[in-house]
Amino acid sequence: MQVFGQIIGTVFIFMALADIYLTVLHPRAESSLLSISVARGVWQFFRCATVGLPKRRDDLLSYGGPTIIVTIISLWVLLLLLGFALIVWPKLGTEIQATQGETPTDFITAVYYAGYALATLGTGDLVPQTGGARLLMVLKSFLGFSVFTLTISYILSVYSNLTGRNTFALSLHHSSANTADSIELLARLAADNNVDTLHQDISEIAQSLIGLLQANNSYPVLFYFRYRQSYYTLPRIAYLTMDVATLIRTALDQDEYRSIVNSSGTAELWFGGLHLLEELCHTLLPKIHVKSLDANEPCWREHYYQALERLKQEGIKTVQNPEAGADSYIAMRHEWAHYLAKLIKYMDYDQKNVYPAEH
């Protein structure tokens, strides 16, 4: 029975170390052992807890991301603590003895001894008596210090990337004159009808989007940070960038703005945004079914015609065949709209807060 407990303890330790390695040192959502499952579970708990509290939903869900971080780190510590406690438990009273009096042999004492070493506090009132027990003590202290250091590094990296995401979100929000309207955003980007300036602005947005894609690939827990303020929402970032890219490719005159439509910046904006949505939906989301979006096509068509009118007001030359342009816009929007609908549903957002200009 004691040997079985030590085997279980060894498994716990390897599970914790493997997840720390994959989460911190080899950060990719597809390679996670425990962290992504824990994140999904905690997020599902928050979603269920807010079902009967619609007025407090945004407030409560905003604590989901930090709670997931705390839960993942707590799981690492718990697995290491229980793992080493199961290994040293049979050694109490023999290879590990108290400095004074009789040595307790209960499991709580084993947890105390393992935790003392993991916290790098020394040996306390329980002292290893054999070479093997001393080496195990050194290993626990080394792992405790390493895990502490890696955890701090992980937290700093997550919040650094979160700050970058929020900065990007605010930039898009204010660039659209605080409207969260992709039409207004594109119109202001192209306001002076300067092709060079437009190309530069699109490239800068595309680079920020690629940075966001890489940040979410490396630190998927970022996905679960949901703020009360709607302008920070990840689905809104995805909507604004994807719809701007779609309008550029379908609403601008293909001859007049050929260098923009076929530019690397526009390609980065389109394929980077699509890549981001696909990665989030395929890697982090459980199977979520959304209803057909065909019913939204009249609204999308009207949105497209509004874009043409707004661009014309800024002196931007638009497509010569609006009907064909609208058909192309709707077809291209179908390529990403269902991914966005899944994100909105899973993150419990109201569509009116993600793209208010279309409602």
Residues above pLDDT 70, as percent of the chain: 99
The pLDDT value recorded for residue 5 is 85
Residue 146 lies in a domain: yes
Distances (CA, A) of 143 to 27, 111, 120, 121, 341: 19, 16, 9, 13, 43
Q: How confident is the model at residue 166 (pLDDT cuts 50, 70, 90)?
A: very high
Residue 300 lies in a domain: yes
Q: Which long-range contacts (CB under 8 A, 24 or more apart) does 42-51 make?
A: 42/67, 42/68, 42/71, 42/224, 43/68, 43/224, 47/348, 50/348
Whether the pLDDT of residue 125 is over 90: the answer is: no
212 shares a domain with 125: no
354 shares a domain with 315: yes
- H or E element, residue 258: helix 258-261
180: left (phi over 0), alpha (psi -120 to 50) or beta: left
- Give the CA dihedral 275, 36, 232, 312, nearest 10 degrees: 20
Interval 274-292: pLDDT, tens: 999 999 998 888 888 888 8
185 shares a domain with 78: no
> Please, what is the average pLDDT of the chain?
91
pLDDT average, residue stretch 262-268: 93
Residue 21, token pair as written in the block: 């390695």
Residue 170 lies in a domain: no
134 shares a domain with 205: no
338 shares a domain with 247: yes
pLDDT average, residue stretch 155-179: 95
Q: In this structure, what CATH number is given to the domain that contains residue 107?
A: 1.10.287.70
The pLDDT value recorded for residue 277 is 95
Q: Rounded to an integer, what distance in angstroms lies between the CA atom of residue 142 and that of residue 252?
A: 61
Question: Which residues partner with 128 through β-bridges?
Answer: 96
Residue 59 lies in a domain: yes
Residue 167 lies in a domain: no
The pLDDT value recorded for residue 4 is 86
The pLDDT value recorded for residue 3 is 82
CA 307 to chain CA centroid, Å, is 31
pLDDT average, residue stretch 108-128: 83
Interval 330-352: pLDDT, tens: 999 999 999 999 999 999 998 88
196 vs 315: which has the higher pLDDT: 315
Q: Rounded to an integer, what distance in angstroms lies between the CA atom of residue 92 and that of residue 267?
A: 64
Could you tell me where the beta strands, DSSP code E, fall in 77-128? 96-98, 126-128
163 vs 126: which has the higher pLDDT: 163
Interval 217-255: pLDDT, tens: 999 999 999 998 999 999 999 999 999 999 999 999 988
Whether the pLDDT of residue 121 is over 70: the answer is: no
The pLDDT value recorded for residue 190 is 87
Whether the pLDDT of residue 123 is over 80: the answer is: no
Which candidate, 136, 132, 116, places its Cα nearest to that of 124?
116
120 shares a domain with 15: yes
148 vs 2: which has the higher pLDDT: 148
Q: How confident is the model at residue 1 (pLDDT cuts 50, 70, 90)?
A: low
Q: How confident is the model at residue 122 (pLDDT cuts 50, 70, 90)?
A: low
The pLDDT value recorded for residue 56 is 87
141 shares a domain with 92: yes
The HSE-up count of residue 255 (CA atoms within 13 Å, CB side) is: 3
Which candidate, 189, 338, 320, 337, places its Cα nearest to that of 250?
320
Residue 20 lies in a domain: yes
Which candidate, 318, 296, 292, places its Cα nearest to that of 307?
318
Whether the pLDDT of residue 120 is over 80: the answer is: no
Residue 338 lies in a domain: yes
| Three-class secondary structure of residue 129 per DSSP | coil
324 shares a domain with 188: yes
184 shares a domain with 316: yes
Domain endpoint, select from 152, 167, 197: 152
Q: Rounded to an integer, what distance in angstroms lies between the CA atom of residue 236 and that of residue 353?
A: 8
Burial class of residue 49 in the structure, from the number of CB atoms within 10 Å of its CB (0-12 exposed, 13-18 middle, 19+ buried): middle
Domain endpoint, select from 119, 152, 185: 152
Residue 79 lies in a domain: yes
> What is the residue range of 353's domain?
176-358
184 shares a domain with 71: no
147 shares a domain with 237: no
Q: How many domains does the chain have?
A: 2
| Three-class secondary structure of residue 252 per DSSP | strand
The pLDDT value recorded for residue 52 is 82
pLDDT average, residue stretch 19-43: 88
Residue 111, token pair as written in the block: 């947890």
Q: What global pTM score does this model have?
A: 0.90
Q: How many residues in total does the chain contain?
A: 359
303 shares a domain with 237: yes
